[in-house]
Amino acid sequence: MLEKAGIDYDSPETLGRILGSWALAAASILSLIFAIGKLLLGEPLLGLLNLGIFVVSTWLVVKRTNEDFETEKRLGWEKAE
């Protein structure tokens, strides 16, 4: 599809980075689900531990996303108006 549009796209991200980002996002969502469940079902220690995992993994996802946007800006891949 990009070739038809005449856009030359070569991703600066490796497959490992993409899979790592995916795993971090999955860990973020799952840890939040488990945190809510554990807190509601009376296991506050595990709930708080999962909540901590959620906060850290979400922070890492946001950090990686911002890095990717900065890379795209640096390479001149900003959205064409």
Domain extent, residue 61, equals 15-74
User: pLDDT band at 10, cuts 50/70/90?
Assistant: low
The number of distinct structural domains making up the chain is: 1
**Average pLDDT value for the chain:** 86
Q: How far is residue 19's CA from residue 35's CA, in Å, rounded to a whole number?
A: 24
Q: How far is residue 64's CA from residue 73's CA, in Å, rounded to a whole number?
A: 14
Is residue 6 one of the residues assigned to a domain? no
Is residue 54 one of the residues assigned to a domain? yes
Whole-prediction pTM:
0.73
Model confidence over 16-50: pLDDT tens digits?
888 999 999 999 999 999 999 999 999 999 999 99
Is residue 10 one of the residues assigned to a domain? no
Asked whether the beta carbons of 24 and 60 are under 8 A apart, the reply is: yes
Is residue 56 one of the residues assigned to a domain? yes
